[in-house]
Amino acid sequence: MGRASETDDEDVVRLFPDNADTVIWFSGPVSYEEAHLSEVLSAAMKAWEHFFNAHEVSSHYVVDAASMPYYRDEGIRLARGLANELGSQFVVEFDPDERNPAPRRFRAAGPATNSAAARVFSELAADNARDLRGDWTIDLG
C-alpha cells in the first residue's frame, strides 16, 4: 500500500455507497455488471450497500452509531477483496467516516485474482489518462 503522495489519483478506486446503485467509483460510478467482479464480491457489495441505505442517518452519508462497526469492518473487508481482484496496479480507498482526513487505502501484494475485472479497470484507467491529457475523440460517423 502506498501513501497518497505515492499514488496517482487516477489509479485510486474508491469504495463508498451513494445514490448510484453501486459502491464502486473510478472517475464516476462503475456498475457491478461493468466491473466484472466475482459473483461473491458483487453480492457482498450489494448487501453492504443495502445495509448502508437501511441505516443511513438522514441523508448525511453516514450510518447510525450502532451500525458503524459493521459498516466499517465490512467496508474494509470489501476494499481488500476489491484490491485483490484488481491487483497491485490499483489502490482501493475506503473512508468509513468522511470526517477522517486520512481514508484507508489498500493495494494487493501481487497480480489480480480476477483478470476480467483487472482488464475493465485498466481500460477505464487508460480512458481516464486520455481524458486528463485532453485526447478527446468524437465519432461523428
65-97 pLDDT per residue, tens: 899 899 999 999 999 999 999 999 999 999 887
State the burial class of residue 23 (Cβ atoms within 10 Å of its Cβ: 0-12, 13-18, 19+).
buried
Is the predicted pLDDT of residue 121 greater than 90, yes or no?
A: yes
Full-model pTM = 0.84
Is the predicted pLDDT of residue 139 greater than 90, yes or no?
A: no
* Number of neighbours of residue 70 by Cβ within 10 angstroms: 13
pLDDT in tens, 24-81: 999 899 999 999 999 999 999 999 999 998 888 776 667 888 998 999 999 999 999 9
Domains of the chain, by residue range, sit at 4-133
